[in-house]
Structure 1
Amino acid sequence: MQSQTTATLTTVLSDVLADLAFMFCDGGEYSEQPGESWLETSIGYKGGVSGELRLICTRSFAEQLAENLLGIESGEEISKQESTDAVREFMNVVCGQFVTTAHGTEDVFNLTIPTVTELEVVPFVEGGEDETAQLSVDGQWLQLRHIEATPA
């Protein structure tokens, strides 16, 4: 059974993709994409509760995201910096939406600056993660994980 947090992650991710980037989930199954480079974008939040969101996506997805966010014509060259900046901005919006959806608007939350890391291996966390949303968008597989901070 899907946890409430996973359901919220899935809804927020698909809504922000559609509303901000005009990208839609296609329900495809994950298949390894040989030769593809992978990115992990992390952003934290602190307020009444604290946590972190981590998005894993391909560089190709980040390039498509940059095309849609920046209004770049399909087929034009997109720099690594543009695709990295696009996925950072995307995660700012995803985190803001997640925090207000999951925790309400009463508390003030501070978001960290998103960081992007290029990964060496296909990084998907295998099933069993209660707080993980996995979606396919235009044949590109995405995984969004929520990691709740442990109280100090």
Structure 2
Amino acid sequence: MTNEFVLDAIKREFPDSVIAAAEPYGMLTLEVKKDDVKKVIHHLRDSSLGFNFLTDVCGIHYPDDAEKELGVIYHLQNMEANIRIRLKAFTQKEGAEFDTLTDLFAGANWMERETFDFYGIKFKGHPDLRVILNMEDLGYHPMLKEYRLEDGTREDKDDTMFGR
């Protein structure tokens, strides 16, 4: 099984869903429409393509792009053929919500909770969407690129030593 074969199979089944495709470091990477990402993942799992292992779910923040400010990245693997695929889907920051994958992959539960905790992305249909690593009363999502790296009031740090 090759990346080209997988890409052709997805484009044949979902001709309007794939926005962009690339192969950084040999891994097939697709940008998929937000509303179609769960359908594509469901097809990857249940079809003969056999991507039945969800390796990772994580968030990403691009503050300079208002239309694609927040995104979710999914990594899946076909263990038999030893091939991986990365799917990306983006949305605006306001009302950022994706469909949960917990009904397809039990392991998505904690990965989606972590993504919610750090980026504030909600997963519609998640059975227990609440913070998992941060304190419940933290009040913000620390991985968003809208916070300073260091505490500006500290005098014991010299950031010039770290290239800043």
The structure with higher relative contact order (CA 8 Å, sep 6+) is 1
Bigger Cα Rg: 2
TM-score, with structure 2 as normaliser: 0.28
Structure whose residues are more often helix by fraction: 1
